[in-house]
Structure 1
């Protein structure tokens, strides 16, 4: 067993996932498995060249074969898995429910909801045997998936799939006494996904930088415990600046 903390981050080739992988890679005593549909992309090749503790792995959301193979590679290379950050996700459609093709729901639920389930099922044996005794399974979710704090953003395939994924996180906490299972809203971040919605409100780009979001997300994951963190839906950080995208709370209602 390694004395280092072993992470698996999905969707790590760009955006928030890449930012998380890059930040963790620079820390001492870490091993980072960076999951992506194409692990040979330049961003991950460059990251692995700069950090010998980074291992790109093929990961396709909801594809059991690639999930199982990624976990097998982690087992062979590191011998353990301590933290899974389920970041892979899509938000490909804007429009009201009445005109949204059913195929969009199927695609979003496949990636954003079933992807989380398949990932846990593949990783569970290795993850739950983590020598830390308190393995972490963290979902990068979204406030758009909150039902109580409903936001009419006309992105129902995305929002509903994330709401369902949030339920999975809550259920994983209840079903696994040692697992620290949590969801995190990363803010409205200037990534390809985040920027896509900016023009609809007269903005050129989303207002939160990747670096700021990553620091907030990791502040929720670092030191997370069963007692204080598990079964919760955290805001990346509490903000009372008054912008409509700010959330003045540490936690997001389910």
Structure 2
């Protein structure tokens, strides 16, 4: 599909990657952009339609569909990271990550699927992570939620194919957002990541590897776990 003339809804649109999606959608000629956030007053972009949307709240998701029934492009960007380990971490925090990072895009995809079908199929973009494919100490909850969202992406791609909906999964390492603040390492620009995702929507690509780290991690998925994690830890130690 083409971004020019499309009607898009972006979750988590008030900052970081979400705000970059909003800006680029406007620059590329989207006819309308719904900028969804828990607090729509936090959306600073001009010329958009702010939408109150907490993706963990089924009632708000249903209300968003009513308010934005003309959507042809859904960008599932909203996400959180609590830094919680799976064995010793707070179970409530683990559930919160799953609710936001997996059940959130599941709810929005299910809710907006009929609208996408009504507008020719359209597209869904799921912002995932290279942590869909590996983890680090203290990152177990986040990685588990993103791994689940990766499979959600594959499953919904198959399930929505009959209605012509194109589903894109976006993987990357660190992006220069609030989530990565304080980490003194190279980071990907939110605009570069959002731009690559929109390019995939237009080209028909199903997966975006946004940076060298995402490409490196995916290249090792066929390795045995010990070899794969030895390779990852070696790269992290050299960084």
**Normalised by the shorter chain, which TM-score bucket?**
0.7 to 0.9
**Aligned residues of 2:171 and 2:214 also touching (Cα < 8 A):** no
**TM-score normalized by the length of structure 2:** 0.82
Contact 1:235 1:249 in 2 (8 A): no
Partner of 1:6: 7
Alignment match, 2:116: 127
Q: Are 1:68 and 2:62 an aligned pair?
A: yes
SS of 1:104's equivalent in the other structure is helix
Paired with 2:31 and 2:137, the residues of 1 have a C-alpha distance of 38
Give how far 1:98 is off.
3.0
Gaps in structure 2 of 5+ consecutive residues? 223-239
Output the CA distance in 2 between the equivalents of 1:183 and 1:99: 30
Tell me which residue corresponds to 1:194: 180
Residue pairs, 1:31-70, within 5 angstroms: 31-41=32-42, 44=43, 46-48=44-46, 51=47, 54-70=48-64
- Post-superposition offset of 1:253: 5.7
SS of the residue corresponding to residue 94 of structure 2 reads helix
**How many pairs are equivalent?**
217
Structure 2 Cα separation of the partners of residues 251 and 129 of structure 1:
38
Q: Using the TM superposition, give the Cα deviation of residue 91 of structure 1 relative to its aligned residue in structure 2, in angstroms.
A: 0.6
Q: 1:249 to 1:161 in 2, by over 3 A?
A: closer
Q: Which has the higher helix share?
A: 2
Spell out, residue by residue over 1:154-179, the C-alpha distance to the aligned partner (whole angstroms, 9 max, x if none).
31111101111111111111112222
Change (3 A) 1:168 1:25: same
1:248 to partner: Cα distance? 4.8
Distance 2:125 2:75 in 1: 5
Aligned to 1:154: 138
Of 207-216 and 9-18, deviating more is: 207-216
Matches within 5 A, 1:178-189: 178-189=164-175
